[in-house]
A and B are shown apart, each in its own frame.
Chain A
Amino acid sequence: MKDNIRNFCIIAHIDHGKSTLADRIIEKTGLLTQREMQEQILDNMDLERERGITIKAQTVRTVYKANDGKEYIFNLIDTPGHVDFNYEVSRALVACDGAILVVDAAQGIEAQTLANVYMAIDHDLEVFPVVNKIDLPSAQPEKVVEEIEDVIGIEAVGCPLISAKNGIGIEDVLESVVTRIPAPTGDENAPLKALIFDSVYDPYKGVIVFIRVRDGKVRKGTKIKMMATGAIFDTVEVGYFGAGQFIPCDELEAGEVGYITASIKNVQDTRVGDTVTDNDNPCAEALPGYKKVLSMVYCGLYPADGAHYSDLRDALEKLQLNDASLFYEAETSVALGFGFRCGFLGLLHLEVIQERLEREYNLDLVTTAPGVIYKVYKTDGSMIELTNPSNLPDPSEIDHMEEPIVKAEIIVTKEYIGSIMELCQERRGKYISIDYIEANRAILKYELPLNEIIYDFFDALKSRSKGYASFDYEMKCYETSKLVKLDILINHEEIDALSFIVHSDSAYERGRRMCEKLKDEIPRHLFEIPIQAAVGGKIIARETIKALRKDVLAKCYGGDITRKKKLLEKQKEGKKRMRQFGNVEIPQNAFMSVLKLDDDK
């Protein structure tokens, strides 16, 4: 039975075409007709479609009739490519036995190609390459094949050369899945042992748990136990993943990928990475599970309307179920009231969560400046991990501070090496090495402070290399650094939610730009508003928002009151999206937009 199952995923650098290939595989395996196909079937979050990226790992089961005449069950798990979502990739990999590595025939190997392939190999997956986009005018498939063998060291000669977009070579990929990816192993007669690799919350069914069954079997009525949390449930339904839907079946057994529902109401009871077993016949020990992911970027999330605090808490709880890499804890801000300090894998992850909260949960949010975790060593010998700048102790109590440093790899074509090195220098990078992977492309290695790359490093990288650079990073260590807290005062009042930690050398520049940006963001009031940046109580920059002098519509045409009313309503609506600080109203998006200081540079 297990011999005809293939559990695999597709890994690739962003935009190399893994979602398109997934679409083609689903299409070719005949589960859906051409008519039912929406573009990029697996990307079913609105957000994913709009941005054209995959955020959540998704799973789908299809049936393929191979050339050997047998039918194979494919469990395909789509994975995200962005560096922020490596954790999702890692989770998906654990459920698989093999991976298809997609490489763009024109762009060749990129930074995340390497990162993802090494991760797959770490998970003992069988990896075979596919060269995609061979029909592009600039495609050089032979060169890319050579590159894969030289740089990654896996066999690539004779690998499928395809165009996922135009459906070229897909059969070849499907056959390779059958021949090159091993069938799952495991004992269906042993006690149940299944790994939770994802879960979602459904208002009717409760938590839907995604599992990979390693040993044993599970069916309706099985009394299951979550080994880490100890929670016990009666299985209500088991099934597998159709395209965009859940399809119930009788049982799931060793080697299979599917889902369980068990009227699980409490989100806390199911942890991704936990092992599910049979309560009446438990397995001896749990599966290794996952490394706990470390949040890299922190920021405060506050409901725009304080009354929605508990809605925000519920939403975060449900999102965390779906995205275990999201961390949150309650905090209070003088300026913003009750909210949460949240940890993310990166800035894109932050933006995605923010947008999901706003769209899927209809919440209006205020987001504070993202920061990293600083280690603050106090003169009394103790150390605190600082995620919220306003908790920084008095400077007299601080001995020294450390900031996180990452090891960054940037793959870039020759002509942009200079400008990318310049960028890294500006961001306080420490040069490590440069290696040519082929005549025209090199891997640059730098050590960079994490707080220099969380805001807009990707954008800067893209614009300075005309899109020809790719980037990946991993945490390296903490290093001592000269850091200061930059405070922002609006109308002489310190706004704690706008404070952030910055290297002392760039404090002046950042403070000045913050003030300029806030001047543009905050509408004029009835009175003059000074905006000041301060370090340790000393003002280092100032801007002034002049008082509002005129706001009147002179003419009202021929009794057309509706037009006037619309204008006033718009004005009133605008006021609602403001946050009151003393006498001053600050638009909610001002808190976020001040980060994008490089925009107008």
Chain B
Amino acid sequence: MQDEQGLVRQAQQGDKDAFAELYEAYFDKIYRYVVLKISNRAEAEDMTQQVFLKAYQSIGSFKWKGVPFSAWLFRIAHNQIVDFVRKQSRRPTVRLEESMVSSDDNPLRTVESRFDIERLRLATQQLTAAQQEVISLRFAGGLAIAEVARTMGKSEGAVKALQHSAVAALRKVLLVGEESEKG
């Protein structure tokens, strides 16, 4: 991809193709980020689309102040999810549906991934909000630790510590889940 800063500048000047390139670079990452937090397939797809429509409409307001474009984009996604969860908090959740496919197109793996991501989503709900955010940005969003730090407004050291505690907590939750399934 062309230099991201240059693409953003062009997109801010109305260059649709520059925005299209940013869109292609981040679409899958934003989708995974949303999917980890919203289990309903249709809602997750709608929300992913909304994130990019919102980004396109307000890209003129984005300013480079040490915060990367990815941080801004994930912040939009985060805010949309918070709004959605607030509105839907009393409604029952729906399990993941078949449109989510594993990237290697292996049907067996698709089934496993579908199961695992649902289980992972439930497991991450046992973590603190900050731990959840690190897992979402680092694994679903595919951001490097420095980008996660800037997105969350924390130091890299603090995010590394959060990442460590999040993975350790996740392990405990998954182990407890496995034991209860066996029992």
Does B bind A? Answer: no
